């Protein structure tokens, strides 16, 4: 098993500490002295390394060392045999139960059957496996895409998360059988241009390990495709599951299958009852007004596995801890996750129906407007706001979802999850006199059919579903028809059904903002220099001017986060001081969601303003470029660049 450098040094330290503990040096000195004395007898001879090793072995020293290196009691508080690969994890709590999930490799990824072997150093497409289990998230190292990808990783999952277990009492088999949380596996493909594709999303029931006395089992997991390919196998992963510490008493297999069967039956019954209720509710809604048939009232939505779920189950109260500081920063974070519509297979203008589980959306780093809106609504609920997802249309009748918040003063604010823009809604009064002043529509939204969050679903039953005429008074039953909160809670509340995907936490960024900013800036300088060389132009950089551009980029990001512009006066003053009299300054800022230097440069050059700066000719031309990468949770990046030049004006 290959170890990362930090784990290898940790293992060496464990071995070193235990050799000191058993006073190995003292024992070696004693054996060495005895061996030397024995060699000074009548048959005096020179001692070799082999003689010395033989002496150590004959006195049992090597056996004692090897016995200790099996880690039978490496950490004093452990009283059971601890496998080496588990001992590499330093924060093991001896009172807790763990599941060691080891991926042993993949096979039958037939889409990559003809994939050539990557040459050393060659950039190639990769697979990365992500895991979520009881508020814990993990990811594997990326491996080259192949028919049999070399996915070999181990993950130590704590079963006791979220208060399971009474005090220091270790969870026994019966207690673990009641934990129905699956291990969510998400496989992502990343191509050579850093574009990500969701390959599979799979929920693994790990409890089969509870009926084995050894607490170990090896299974083959068939991963299915997503979207329109959810019935087509994507590949197979071989997975080894092991409980640590091993169970003192295992369960019979029929007990486990009975428990799983009961859970499925309870879930199926709850879903059946909700479907019956939803059909009745929909009939009542249509009886109010026949035109309601054409309104965008969406009660169910398909996830990436083709499973129909109530839309309310896609929204949960999500708290970001210290990763996000405010609702507006949360909106900025969500807007940095790229927007990509689900692909349509075949002709027609219809839109592919695919909402994503939050785990799949975060791992992929991009999704459709529904994914963005449900995530933003979840975060705003976590910040204590009264937030809802709106389903309706934009201009030209294009279906769209966005977020609405209601203030305690009755104010209504729309949040566009794709851009982080906010719009204050003021309804037009259709009964006002013709000459009375009316508010102008400020948002891009045209109609709204329904709104929902984690515990509320409301359909718009006003005479017109036009946003500009809509009154968002949700308590008024003549304007909004509500679903029963109890009915929604039976299938959408956390833990209500085993088919409900668990809510993953946000991950802190692992990127170093300064390092990635420097790297991208160096790449941009190289591309600009090469481009100018092709035009027979020399390139002279002004490092001081480049540094001055930082304050402008920081101000742009702050404005995106808060909606407040500041710092522009200081930037303008600094530029005036840096540009001599008789010289001209030109600057061009631009924003991206990725860090691919060649794509950034190609896109920037499409602007005539940028091209004018990069291809600047004149007397005493000095160029500057500054990159600032602002890193958010999930390694979402807001990438700001400014191209600039100064030159002596010649008439």
The verdict on residue 500 lying in a domain is: no
Q: Does a structural domain hold residue 88?
A: no
Its pTM stands at 0.84
pLDDT at residue number 4: 55
> Which of 202, 219, 251 lies at the terminal end of a domain, its last residue?
251
The whole domain housing 294 covers: 261-342+351-492
Find out whether 591 and 639 touch, Cβ atoms under 8 Å.
yes
Integer Cα distance of 302 and 286 in angstroms:
23
Q: What gap in Å lies between CA 115 and CA 169, rounded to an integer?
A: 51
> Rounded to an integer, what distance in angstroms lies between the CA atom of residue 355 and that of residue 301?
7
Does 443 share its domain with 474? yes
Pair (31, 138) in one structural domain: no
Task: Report yes or no on 506 lying in a domain.
Answer: no
pLDDT on residue 565: 82
Last residue of a domain, one of 458, 492, 526: 492
Same domain? For 385 and 270 the reply is: yes
Cα separations (Å) of 385 from 317, 327, 328, 460?
10, 9, 12, 21
Q: Read off the CATH number of the domain in which 541 is found.
A: 3.40.33.10
Beta bridge partners of 204: 183
Within a domain: residue 75? Answer: no
Q: Residues 358-369, buried b or exposed e (16+ Cβ, 10 A)?
A: bbbbbbbbbbbb
Do 278 and 244 reside in the same domain of the chain?
Answer: no
Q: How many domains does the chain have?
A: 4
Q: Does residue 395 share a domain with residue 283?
A: yes
Q: Is the dihedral of CA 118, 124, 125, 127 positive or negative?
A: positive
d(CA 106, CA 471): 55
CB 541 within 8 A of CB 623: yes
Structure tokens given for 574:
């600094």
Q: How far apart are CA 86 and CA 215, in angstroms?
A: 14
Q: Does any domain span residue 505?
A: no
Query: Do 270 and 419 have their domain in common?
Result: yes
For residues 35 and 152, state if they share a domain: no
User: Is position 638 within any domain?
Assistant: yes
Q: How confident is the model at residue 442, as a pLDDT?
A: 82
Q: What phi, psi does 640 have (nearest 5°)?
A: -110, 135
- Please tell me the predicted confidence (pLDDT) of residue 164: 46
Which of 251, 273, 304 is where one domain is finished? 251
User: What distance in Å separates the CA atoms of residue 444 and residue 394, rounded to the nearest whole number?
Assistant: 6
Rounded Cα–Cα distance for residues 608 and 630 (Å): 26
Handedness of CA 267, 271, 274, 280 (dihedral sign): negative
Please report whether residue 497 resides in a domain.
no
Both 293 and 422 in one domain: the answer is yes
Structure tokens at 600: 């950034």
Angle between helices 543-562 and 568-578 (to 10 degrees): 170
Residues 596 and 540 occupy one common structural domain: yes
Query: Residue 73: what pLDDT?
Result: 35
Distance of alpha carbon 530 from alpha carbon 572, whole angstroms: 30
Q: How far apart are CA 614 and CA 539, in angstroms?
A: 10
Concatenated DSSP letters of 41-67? STT-----HHHHHHHHHHTTHHHHHHH
Is 486 a domain residue? yes
Residues 238 and 272 in one domain: no
Largest Cα–Cα distance of the chain, in whole Å? 126
Rounded to the nearest 10 degrees, the angle between the axes of helix 49-58 and helix 24-39 is 120
In a shared domain, residues 427 and 278: yes
The per-residue DSSP string of 304-357 comes to TTS-EEEGGGG------TTS--SHHHHHHHHHTSEE-PPPPPSSSSPPP-----
**Contact call for residues 378 and 315 (beta carbons, < 8 A):** yes
Residues forming beta bridges with residue 403, ordered by sequence position: 389, 415
Q: Could you give phi then psi for residue 612, rounded to 5 degrees?
A: -60, -35
Minimal CA–CA distance to 638: which of 329, 378, 426?
329
- Residue 575 structure tokens: 């530029």
Below-50 pLDDT ranges, the chain: 1-2, 71-81, 163-166
**3-state class of 109 per DSSP?**
coil
Q: Contact 226/212 with Cβ under 8 angstroms?
A: no
Residue 285 neighbours by CB distance under 10 Å = 20
Asked if residue 295 and residue 199 are part of one domain, the reply reads no
H or E, element range at 33: helix 24-39
User: 523: exposed, middle or buried (C-beta count within 10 Å: 0-12, 13-18, 19+)?
Assistant: middle
Q: How far apart are CA 243 and CA 177, in angstroms?
A: 13
């Amino acid at each position: 098993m290959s170890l990362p450098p930090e784990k290898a040094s940790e293992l060496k330290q464990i071995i070193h500490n235990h050799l000191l503990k058993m006073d190995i040096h003292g024992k070696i000195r004693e054996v060495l002295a005895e061996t030397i004395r024995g060699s000074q007898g009548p048959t005096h001879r020179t001692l070799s390394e082999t003689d010395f090793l033989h002496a150590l072995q004959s006195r049992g020293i090597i056996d004692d060392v090897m016995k200790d290196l099996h880690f039978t009691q490496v950490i004093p508080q452990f009283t059971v045999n601890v496998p080496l690969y588990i001992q590499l994890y330093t924060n093991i709590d001896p009172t807790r139960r763990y599941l060691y999930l080891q991926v042993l490799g993949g096979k039958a990824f037939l889409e990559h059957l003809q994939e050539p072997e990557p040459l050393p150093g060659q950039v190639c497409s990769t697979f990365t496996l992500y895991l979520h289990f009881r508020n814990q998230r993990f990811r594997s190292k990326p491996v080259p895409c192949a028919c049999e990808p070399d996915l070999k990783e181990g993950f130590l999952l704590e079963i006791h998360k979220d208060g399971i277990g009474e005090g220091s009492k270790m969870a026994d088999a019966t207690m673990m059988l009641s934990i129905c949380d699956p291990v969510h596996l998400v496989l992502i493909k990343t191509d050579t241009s850093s574009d990500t594709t969701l390959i599979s999303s799979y929920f693994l029931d790990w409890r089969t390990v509870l009926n084995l006395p050894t607490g170990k089992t090896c299974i083959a997991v068939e991963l299915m495709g997503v979207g329109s390919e959810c019935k087509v196998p994507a590949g197979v992963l071989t997975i080894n599951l092991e409980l640590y510490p091993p169970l003192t008493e295992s369960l019979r297999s029929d007990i486990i299958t009975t428990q799983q069967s009961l859970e499925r039956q309870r879930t199926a019954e709850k879903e059946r009852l909700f479907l019956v209720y939803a059909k009745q509710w929909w009939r009542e809604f249509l009886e109010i007004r026949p035109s309601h048939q054409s309104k965008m009232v969406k009660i169910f939505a398909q996830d990436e596995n083709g499973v129909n779920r109530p839309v309310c189950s896609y929204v949960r109260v999500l708290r970001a801890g210290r990763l996000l500081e405010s609702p507006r920063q949360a909106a900025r974070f969500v807007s940095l996750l790229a927007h990509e519509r689900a692909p349509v297979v075949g002709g027609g203008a219809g839109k592919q129906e695919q909402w994503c589980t939050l785990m799949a959306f975060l791992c992929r780093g991009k999704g459709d407007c529904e994914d963005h809106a449900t995530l933003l609504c979840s975060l705003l609920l976590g910040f204590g706001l009264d937030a809802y997802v709106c389903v309706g249309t934009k201009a030209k009748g294009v279906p769209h979802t966005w977020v609405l918040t209601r203030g305690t003063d009755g104010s209504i604010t729309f949040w566009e999850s794709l851009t982080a823009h906010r719009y204050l809604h003021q309804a037009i009064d259709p009964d006002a006199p013709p000459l009375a002043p009316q508010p102008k529509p400020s948002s891009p939204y045209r109609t709204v059919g329904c709104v929902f969050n984690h515990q509320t679903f409301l359909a718009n039953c006003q005479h017109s579903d036009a946003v500009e005429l809509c009154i968002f008074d949700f308590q008024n039953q003549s304007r909004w028809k509500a679903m029963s909160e109890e009915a929604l809670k039976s299938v959408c509340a956390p833990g209500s059904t085993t088919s409900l995907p668990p809510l993953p936490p946000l991950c802190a960024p692992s990127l170093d903002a300064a390092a990635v900013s420097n790297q991208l800036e160096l790449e941009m300088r190289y591309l600009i220099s090469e481009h100018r060389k092709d035009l027979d132009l020399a390139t002279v950089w002004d490092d001081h001017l480049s540094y001055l551009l930082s304050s402008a980029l920081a101000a742009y990001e702050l404005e995106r986060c808060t909606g407040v512009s500041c710092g522009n006066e200081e930037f303008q003053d600094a530029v005036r001081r840096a540009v001599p009299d008789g010289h001209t300054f030109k600057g061009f800022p631009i924003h991206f969601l990725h860090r691919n230097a060649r794509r950034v440069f190609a896109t920037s050059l499409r602007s005539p303003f940028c091209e004018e700066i990069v291809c600047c000719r004149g007397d005493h031309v000095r160029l500057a470029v500054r990159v600032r990468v602002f890193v958010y949770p999930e390694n979402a990046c807001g990438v700001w660049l400014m191209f600039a030049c100064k030159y002596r004006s010649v008439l």
